[in-house]
Structure 1
């Protein structure tokens, strides 16, 4: 079973250290959820892995090839982006292209597939996420949940080694969240390797096989859902879980 290894990943904004020497090994088929307070570097971690942010140092080993994440090499950037795909909070669909065309784009531009082959793959993945009847619809004619499902289909169509999801339900109305979570759960059940930032804790408990708690740019807890939620060892993690009501609140004497 192949693994993805991230070593020594560090990122600063000015003097503010956002990621502090992160080491992370992800096995094929893992669904790893990153949780933690706002501002602890969760989204920056995903963006640095995909080179949307440029870290000060760090490497990623993927497909047995080690890539320096500070690289200026166009070839290495392309190689990394062929193997990782990002699902964003705000969907990031091309507004002037249909759902089908949005999914086909990367297949033709990055993977250099013929239009007919790209169309076949795109249709298959849109069917999988329940959007087979919306192929010719433009983003403005789709709900937020439908747009995010197109974005997930676009990412999965590229057959990435690692699927990065940055709070994929945070921009949705509450009633639309479940349809996207069902789509992500199905992608996980099909064996996709996923690194996910989310605040949907009940979903994390039921779908992730591993949870990382990030605090001040460091991994301070790493375990199974049972270990993290039912038997947390780290005091800061306990405090966080109490605040989000995943543990019983402490008794207070006044």
Structure 2
């Protein structure tokens, strides 16, 4: 009997046949079911780890297929699942109430075609540079409100907010803690620099690209996936 590909045990038995008629085996030690010389062998964990890293770089899925040798169909399924499971809320260290400063901005993107605009609303802690609020939607007051609601409570209670002069901010942010400023003030430099980083690292956000998002859920998932990585890198 063939050895188990998982635990290398030779305590295996025949266990019926797969849909193509090929003999299936089962390992008595670990319970793994397998066939000899499968036409589509399982993707190794090392390859999956490499793909996870490549998704954080400015590469299309087609480029990742060329680099790793996996099939386009498998990669798309893997990416769909990964982005679906990516948490859609910020994960940042807890802050004590006190003087906090945020920089807020919104960045243009699209899904499917340029008529389907999706604005990426971001809030950054000016001291730690961590992204503390995210929302993807239109450029309306409603989206500004959703960004505000995405913030941890301590930021909504204490933070002074620096933004550009887009009207939606003035309608949502507390007037006593809202500061609308121009780019020459330098008060929004950090968040504007992060916008550039996001475009450089997430291929689907490049302004002239063939690897744009075709599905809104994946568009949002890719943005959150990078933001979680970025925030985690600040704590290393």
Check whether TM > 0.5.
no
Query: Is the radius of gyration larger for structure 1 or structure 2?
Result: 2
Q: Using CA pairs below 8 Å that are at least 6 residues apart, which structure has the higher relative contact order?
A: 1
- Report the TM-score when normalising by structure 1: 0.26
- Report the TM-score when normalising by structure 2: 0.27
